[in-house]
Chain A
Amino acid sequence: MKDILLPVAHVFALVIMVFSGTMLAPLVLSIWGLDRALSAFVLSALITFLIGALLWLATRRFKRELKTRDGLMLVALTWVALPAVAGLPLWGSLPINFTDAYFEAASGLTTTGGTVLSGLDFLPRSVNLWRHLLSWIGGMGIIVLAVAILPLLGVGGMQIYRAEMPGPMKDSKLTPRIGQTAKLLWAVYGGLTLACIVCLRFAGMDWFDAVCAGFSALSLGGFSNYDANIGHFNSVPIELVLMGFEILAALNFATHFLAWSQRGPRAYLRDSEAKAILAVLFVSCIGIAGFLVFKGTYADFGTALRYASFNVISIATTSGLHNQDYALWPTFAPMWMIFLSCIVASSGSTGGGIKMIRTLILSKQANRELNQLVHPNLVRPLKVGGLVIANRVVFAVLAFVFLYFMSVATLIFVQLASGLDFLTALSAIVACINNAGPGLGLVGPGGNYGVLNDFQTWVCAAAMLLGRLEVFTLLVLFTPTLWRK
């Protein structure tokens, strides 16, 4: 076990050291504003760097090229351990315990966006920036970032890239070199974020809010600087900008890159996931708006469409920003939104859930089985967007969906056993595993995760990590073969 863990720990130490560098941004803001979080940031950055440096020195002897299993372990280890150090500044500067700090940091890094904090409007700016920055880094992936900037990962880079990137088919690279691919993805991500921030500024936010909301939108996080979330601004232009960029973030970043390099929208038209996502969102927005008018929640269709589309798109793309307490809507609407959060986001996006590609593959597979009943000798390859999907992929998707639903069911039962009511337990687990953010009931948009006890908070944190790492990467840690020589 020592031989397996220590070489991984050596690379992990590097990741931690790089990560400590990201604490400098809120630190600078804290110095500038001289707020009460300054000492917490200084200490946290130092502690994080020291942990990394000491671990690096201690495991230097075990340096070697990473293998497939090391990649899995590195990613799982990073995601489980990073929220602990990322939560240090929150723990040090806010009146919360370590559990809540870990949850908040995990919620940021996994781009869930559910919070345990209230009174967000009065938090030091540096703390708010840190929360949003965590979302933003976690969005494209801390490991993908490490692959982009640490050339030493070499071939092992591909293994860990695959363990972190969402989606069932991860063998396609944008460029032959994995480091280059990671750099490009981050460039597209950064570019879109910058565009979003500028648009938000012109839509009426101040620069600080625009940066935070931009981070939140592109990473499909869901944190906000205000308790009322985006409802605080009550501005249609801001909502339009955010909706637009949330949809972009829910599409495959590889498609964005292709469209950009071809200077045209052809890539989107070829991306069957993108088309399905847009169709589902369009129908859902119109449908929910009509439903809300029909039920009398809103008097006119225009207002209903405004609130329905913003909240539906936000929850469906697993961002979790909101401008209304949609939990007060008739149950069908919020339940439909939570259901959408399971399936809408694209592979290779910053969103969570099962991903649209898997939904498409499984629906085609179901269709194939039905046809097979009628024509027992039927030969029909499974195609998505004109490309044949190998059976191997279909099996992997089936296994994934099974594990996903079993995880959801198990965690819901755990929450029920711990004393939560059904609606809260269900919505909290589904919202966490999809990295969507707010649930319903106690943890709805009107409330927050602060009401959960420590045990329940840990369970939710586990759900977030499971969802972000697409179950397999985390569960593989519990397979005995991984630990055998």
Chain B
Amino acid sequence: MKIIILGAGQVGRTAAYHLSREEANDVTVIDSNEDCLRDLQDRLDIRTVTGNAASPRVLEAAGIGNTDILVALTNSDEVNMLACQVAWTLYRTPKKIARVRSSDFTGRERLFGEGGVAVDVWISPEQLVTEYVARLIRYPGALQVLDFADGRVRLVGIRARQGGPLVGEALRTLREHIPNIDTRVAAIYRAGKSIKPEGATVIADGDEIFFLAARKDIRAVMREMRREEAPVRRVVIAGGGNIGLRLASELEGKNQVKLIERDNKRARRIAEKLSSTTVLHGDAADEELLLEENIDSADVFAALTNSEEANILSAMLAKRLGAHKVMALINKPSYAELIESGSIDIAISPQTVTIGSLLAHVRHGDVVRVHSLRRGAAEALEVVVHGEADNSRVIGRRIEEIALPEGTTLGAVVRGDEVMIAHHDVTVQPDDHLILFLTDRRHLEAVEKLFQGSASFL
């Protein structure tokens, strides 16, 4: 597929990386910063074009004429929207995805509808990250909580800890522990390596476990893996940027929220927008301030400023001062790896959160949702199966009969509103949503092929 990415910022780079490593994609990146592009081209097999992203001349130089997908990820909502409009009006580009941050735009449905701005899909990284953090706060103990089938099924990443009934036991005993609840362990990582989850696999302390379950069952399954943590009540947010503000307004009804913002004016503006949140003006790495605000009784401390170094430091400080759980927003994947083994509980990578929703639109037809996991090494997919029993390798077959590539687990089947955990005897029907987990994304092509109805039979 021919793809043009506008903007070589954090998200643009990550998108270019993920898209270009799929053999079938031809990726061109446009940005106005030449140095940035040269650096990118040294590391990825892509083409780069320097210039204004919304300019027809620049788009032409990047070969917009036969491009399948335009992904506008520059810093400016306006440039992104205009670029999509230009691509549609002048070149009829079939699919246009734009990053639109401002809820002022995204809040008006008609703006991107019929006759509006020619944006097929808009994504707002800030919104996605906010939702992601909110889910983590809702499920204390989880490392990752990812939605499938509109939230009916969730994939949860969790670290097993001594004290969970299942730790030290074989996986098959899970059914005896919680007989009424259906779940499926999709992957287990021990010391960074994937091990195949089988009935006889014994869960050890420190294992990173990914399981799929219906939304209502998640807590019960989590209780098996580690001692249940009390629900979060007190949250301290550092940084009143887009993400911090959104998160505060989402949480303030249910939790006791404090928000620390360094800029006086910004703090004032935030305070005007929020109702019950305590907005504080000050430095999140200021020990005095944190102590004064009883950081030691905070359930969650989330450092969400623009500067990842500041996030790491203030999160570490908060942890040392007694915050129960600390999270930090971190852009560089290498940092994330570095600190999750240290004193920071959860590293939130905005790119990984965003890239999944982008990948879903780029993938072949029937993939409706993609979550990138473990810094892009693994992937969770939601695929809709289309077709008839006689031209598909999946439909009409029982799950045990489907030849899945190595390292791939079929976790759940969603049929209408019904969520079925994928046991070997479930038969796949047309329009089912299947949730798959790939521990090695190199097998992605094989998986995609499996779900493409073989057109040659028709």
Residues in A neighbouring B193, C-beta threshold 8 A: none
Asked if A68 is at the interface (CB within 8 A of a chain B CB), the reply is yes
Are B45 and A154 in contact (CB-based, < 8 A)?
yes
Are B47 and A175 in contact (CB-based, < 8 A)?
yes
In the complex, per-residue mask of B155-187: 1 if CB is within 8 Å of any chain A CB, else 0 = 000000000000000000000000000000000
Chain B's closest residue to A159 (CB) is: B42
Asked if B446 is at the interface (CB within 8 A of a chain A CB), the reply is no
Q: How large is the interface on A (under 10, 10 to 19, 20 to 34, 35 or more residues)?
A: 10 to 19
In the complex, per-residue mask of A137-181: 1 if CB is within 8 Å of any chain B CB, else 0 = 000000000000000001101110000000000011101111110
Least Cβ–Cβ distance between B29 and chain A, in angstroms: 9
Asked if B34 is at the interface (CB within 8 A of a chain A CB), the reply is yes
The 8 Å CB contact of A155, one of B2, B34, B38, B44, is B44
Asked if A390 is at the interface (CB within 8 A of a chain B CB), the reply is yes
Interface size on B, residues (CB 8 A): 15
Query: Which parts of B44-74 form the interface with A (CB within 8 Å)?
Result: 44-48
What is the bound-complex CA distance between A180 and B27, given in angstroms?
12
Query: Which parts of B10-60 form the interface with A (CB within 8 Å)?
Result: 20, 26-28, 34, 38, 41-48
Least Cβ–Cβ distance between A386 and chain B, in angstroms: 12
Interface centre among A68, A173, A176, A179 (most CB of B within 10 A): A176
Are A176 and B43 in contact (CB-based, < 8 A)?
no
Least Cβ–Cβ distance between A339 and chain B, in angstroms: 34
Are A180 and B26 in contact (CB-based, < 8 A)?
yes
Are A155 and B28 in contact (CB-based, < 8 A)?
no
Are B41 and A176 in contact (CB-based, < 8 A)?
no
Residues in B neighbouring A172, C-beta threshold 8 A: 47
Are B26 and A158 in contact (CB-based, < 8 A)?
no
Chain A's closest residue to B44 (CB) is: A155
Are A176 and B42 in contact (CB-based, < 8 A)?
no
What is the bound-complex CA distance between A275 and B45, given in angstroms?
32
In the complex, per-residue mask of B289-328: 1 if CB is within 8 Å of any chain A CB, else 0 = 0000000000000000000000000000000000000000
What is the bound-complex CA distance between A171 and B42, given in angstroms?
9
Residues in B neighbouring A176, C-beta threshold 8 A: 2, 20, 26-28, 45-47
Chain A's closest residue to B47 (CB) is: A176
Q: How many inter-chain residue pairs (CB < 8 Å) link A and B?
A: 31
Residues in B neighbouring A158, C-beta threshold 8 A: 41-42, 45
Q: Is the interface of B mostly helix, strand, loop or mixed?
A: mixed
Least Cβ–Cβ distance between A157 and chain B, in angstroms: 7
The 8 Å CB contact of B38, one of A159, A171, A173, A177, is A171
Are A175 and B48 in contact (CB-based, < 8 A)?
no
Given A180-B26, A390-B34, also A173-B42 (CB < 8 A): no
Are A155 and B43 in contact (CB-based, < 8 A)?
yes
Least Cβ–Cβ distance between A11 and chain B, in angstroms: 16
Residues in B neighbouring A155, C-beta threshold 8 A: 43-45
Chain B's closest residue to A172 (CB) is: B47
What is the bound-complex CA distance between A390 and B43, given in angstroms?
21
What is the bound-complex CA distance between A177 and B2, given in angstroms?
11
Residues in A neighbouring B41, C-beta threshold 8 A: 158, 171
Least Cβ–Cβ distance between A62 and chain B, in angstroms: 21
Residues in A neighbouring B44, C-beta threshold 8 A: 155
Are B26 and A175 in contact (CB-based, < 8 A)?
yes
Are A68 and B42 in contact (CB-based, < 8 A)?
yes
Query: Which parts of B366-417 form the interface with A (CB within 8 Å)?
Result: none
What is the bound-complex CA distance between A154 and B48, given in angstroms?
17
Are A178 and B45 in contact (CB-based, < 8 A)?
yes
Chain A's closest residue to B3 (CB) is: A176
Interface centre among B34, B41, B44 (most CB of A within 10 A): B41
What is the bound-complex CA distance between A94 and B46, given in angstroms?
47
Chain A's closest residue to B29 (CB) is: A176
What is the bound-complex CA distance between A157 and B26, given in angstroms?
15
Chain B's closest residue to A153 (CB) is: B45
Residues in B neighbouring A171, C-beta threshold 8 A: 38, 41, 48
Residues in B neighbouring A173, C-beta threshold 8 A: 47
Some 24 contacts from A to B, beta carbons below 8 A apart, are A68-B42, A155-B43, A155-B44, A155-B45, A157-B45, A158-B41, A158-B42, A159-B42, A171-B38, A171-B41, A171-B48, A172-B47, A175-B26, A175-B47, A176-B26, A176-B27, A176-B28, A176-B46, A176-B47, A177-B26, A177-B45, A178-B45, A180-B26, A390-B34
The 7 closest A-B pairs by CB, nearest first: A176-B26, A176-B47, A173-B47, A155-B45, A176-B28, A176-B27, A176-B46
Contact surface of B with A, Cβ cutoff 8 Å? 2, 20, 26-28, 34, 38, 41-48
Contact surface of A with B, Cβ cutoff 8 Å? 68, 154-155, 157-159, 171-173, 175-180, 390
- Not counting A175-B26, A177-B45, A390-B34, a sample of 17 additional A-B residue pairs whose C-beta atoms are within 8 angstroms of each other reads A68-B42, A155-B43, A155-B44, A155-B45, A157-B45, A158-B41, A158-B45, A171-B38, A171-B41, A171-B48, A172-B47, A176-B27, A176-B28, A176-B45, A176-B46, A177-B26, A180-B26
